[in-house]
Amino acid sequence: MSDPRLARLATLLVDYSLALREGEVLRINSTDAAAPLILELHSVAIARGAHAYANVALEGLAEILVAEGSKEQREFVSDLAFREVDRLDAELTIWCEANTKSFSRADPEARGQVYAAERSLVNRRWERIGRGEMRWVGTLMPTNAHAQDAEMSLREYEDFVFRACHVAGEEDPVAHWRTVADELAARAAEFADTREIRIVGPDTDLRLGVAGRTWQPSSGTYNMPDGEVFTSPVETDTEGEIRFTLPAVFYGREVEDIRLRFEGGRVVDADARSGADYLRTLLDTDEGSRVLGEFAFGLNYEIDRWTRNILFDEKIGGTVHLALGSGFDDCGSKNESALHWDIICDLREEGEIYADGELVWRAGNFLEAPKPVVERV
Amino acid sequence: MSDPRVQKLAAVLVDYSVGAAEGQQITIEGPAAAAPLIREVYRRILAAGAHPLPRIGIEGTLENLMLEGSDAQLDWVNPARRDDIEEVDGRVVIMGLQNTRSLTSVDASKQARLHRALEPQRNRYLERAANGELSWVLTLFPTQAAAQDAGMSLTEFEDFVYAAGFLDRDDPVGEWKRFGERIDHVSEFLSGVSELRVLAKETDLRIGVGGRHWIASGGLENFPDGEVFTGPVETSVEGTIRFTYPAIFQGREVDDVRLRFEGGEVVDATASRGQDLLREMVAVDDGARRVGEFAFGLNENVTEFTREILFDEKIGGTVHLALGTAYPETGSANRSALHWDLICDLRDGGEVYADGELAYRDGAFLAL
pLDDT digits (tens, 9 = 90+) for A326-363: 999 999 999 999 899 999 999 898 899 999 999 999 99
Burial letters B269-284, b for 16+ CB under 10 A, else e: bebeebeebbebbbeb
Smallest Cβ–Cβ distance between B68 and the set A43, A61, A69 belongs to A43
Nearest to B43 among A23, A57, A68 (CB): A68
pLDDT attached to residue B70: 96
A to B CB pairs, distance under 8 Å:
96
A65:B46 CB<8 A: yes
Give the Cα separation of B105 and A311 in Å (integer). 41
Question: Could you say which of A32, A51, A78 has the minimum Cβ distance to residue B32?
Answer: A32
Distance CA A4, CA A40 (A): 10
What integer is the mean pLDDT of B167-189? 94
Inter-chain residue contact A80 with B54, CB threshold 8 Å: no
- In chain A, where the domains are located: 4-171, 176-366
Mutation for testing the B interface, residue in A21, A25, A46, A72 having most B CBs under 10 Å: A46
Instruction: Tell me, yes or no, if B2 comes closer than 8 A to chain A by beta carbon.
Output: no
Cβ A61–B68 below 8 Å, yes or no?
no
Q: Testing the interface with B: which of A56, A94, A121 to mutate, by most B Cβ within 10 A? A: A56
Ordered alpha helix ranges (H), A48-153:
61-68, 71-75, 79-86, 108-130, 144-149
Average pLDDT of chain B is 95
Please give the average per-residue pLDDT across B43-62, as a whole number.
96
Q: What's the one-letter identity of residue B62?
A: L
Distance between CA B90 and CA B47 in Å, rounded?
15
The structural architecture, per CATH, of the domain A4-171 is: 3-Layer(aba) Sandwich (3.40)
Q: Do A46 and B69 touch (CB under 8 A)?
A: yes
Question: Average pLDDT, stretch B265-282?
Answer: 94
Q: How far apart are CA B307 and CA B147, in angstroms?
A: 10
Shortest CA gap A38–chain B (Å): 8
A57/B65 CB distance under 8 A:
no
Q: What are the distances in angstroms from CA A81 to CA A88, B24, B79, B80?
A: 11, 15, 12, 8
**pLDDT on residue B2:** 76
Question: Which chain B residue shows the shortest CA-CA distance from A42?
Answer: B61
Complete DSSP assignment for A124-149:
HHHHHHHTTS-EEEEEE---HHHHHH
pLDDT at A373: 57
Residues of B with CB below 8 A from A79's CB?
87
ipTM of the complex: 0.88
pLDDT band at A376 (very low <50, low <70, confident <90, very high): very low
Q: Which helix (H) or strand (E) holds B215?
A: strand B215-217
Q: Measured between CA atoms, how close is A320 to chain B, in angstroms? A: 39
Query: Please, what are the domains in chain B?
Result: 4-141 (3.40.1830.10), 180-365 (no CATH)
Q: What is the phi/psi pair of residue B292, to 5°?
A: -95, -15
User: How many helices (DSSP H) and strands (DSSP E) are in chain B?
Assistant: 12, 20
The nearest alpha carbon in chain A to B69 belongs to A46
Q: Buried b / exposed e across A66-99, counting CB within 10 Å, b at 16+?
A: beebeeebbebebebbeebbeebbbbbbbbbbee
Measured between beta carbons, the chain B residues lying within 8 angstroms of A56 are: 32, 54, 56-58
High-pLDDT (> 90) share of chain A, %: 88
Q: Do B54 and A58 touch (CB under 8 A)?
A: yes
* Cα–Cα distance measured from residue A313 to residue A307, given in angstroms and rounded to the nearest whole number: 6
- Angular region, B265: left φ>0, alpha ψ -120 to 50, beta rest: beta
- What is the rounded CA–CA span in Å between residue B200 and residue B198? 7
Question: What is the Cα–Cα distance from A355 to A314, expressed in whole angstroms?
Answer: 21
* Cα B140 to Cα B98: distance, rounded to the nearest angstrom: 12
Chain segment B202-234, per-residue pLDDT in tens: 999 999 999 999 999 998 999 999 999 999 999
In chain A, residues with a C-beta closer than 8 Å to the C-beta of B39 are: 58, 60-61, 64
What's the CA gap between A223 and B93, in Å, rounded?
35
Peptide bond before residue B224 is cis, with ω within 30 degrees of 0: yes
B84 with A69: Cβ contact below 8 A: no
Instruction: Encode A38-53: b = buried (16+ Cβ within 10 Å), e = exposed.
Output: bbbbbbbbbebebbbb
Q: Which of A1, A51, A96 to mutate to test the interface with B (most CBs of B within 10 A)?
A: A51
Q: Which residues of B touch A52 (CB under 8 A)?
A: 61
What is the rounded CA–CA span in Å between residue B221 and residue B180? 13
- In chain A, which residues touch B (CB < 8 A)? 23, 25, 32, 35, 38-39, 42-43, 46-47, 49, 51-54, 56-61, 64-65, 68-70, 73, 76, 78-81, 83-84, 87
Q: Which residues contact residue A169 at a Cβ distance below 8 angstroms, ignoring those fewer than 6 apart?
A: none
Please report which helix (H) or strand (E) contains residue B70, including its range: none
Cα dihedral angle (A111, A115, A117, A123), rounded to 10 degrees?
-170
Alpha-carbon distances of B225 from A13, B220, B298, B344, rounded to whole Å: 46, 8, 8, 18
pLDDT averaged over every residue in chain A: 94
How far away is chain A from the Cα of B17, in angstroms, using its nearest Cα? 22
Mean pLDDT: which of A98-112, A329-343, B71-85, B324-338 is highest?
B71-85
Q: Taking CB atoms and an 8 Å limit, are B60 and A76 in contact across chains? A: no
Section A289-308 average pLDDT: 96
More confident residue, B123 or B89: B89
Q: What per-residue confidence (pLDDT) applies to B112?
A: 82
Phi, psi of B18 (to 5 degrees): -90, -30
Q: Are B3 and B36 contacting, i.e. CB atoms less than 8 angstroms apart?
A: yes
What average pLDDT does this structure show over A50-77? 96
Q: Do A58 and B56 touch (CB under 8 A)?
A: yes
Q: Which residue of A has its CA nearest to B64?
A: A43
- Residue A169: how many other CB atoms lie within 10 Å: 12
Q: Are A197 and A358 in contact (CB under 8 A)?
A: no
CB burial readout A240-260, b (16+ within 10 A) else e: bebebbbbbbbeeeebebbbb
Residues in chain B within 8 Å Cβ distance of A76: 51
Phi and psi angles of residue B209, each rounded to the nearest 5 degrees, phi first: -130, 10
The whole-angstrom distance between A123's CA and the closest CA on chain B is 19
Pairing of strands A135-140, A90-95: parallel
Distance from chain centroid for Cα A120: 18
pLDDT-based confidence at residue B318 (cuts at 50, 70, 90): very high
3-state helix, strand, coil in chain A (%, to 5): 35, 30, 35
When pLDDT is cut at 50, 70 and 90, the band that residue A195 belongs to is: very high
A45-54, A115-124, A219-228, A316-325: the lowest-pLDDT one: A115-124
Weakest-pLDDT range from A23-27, B118-122, B233-237: B118-122
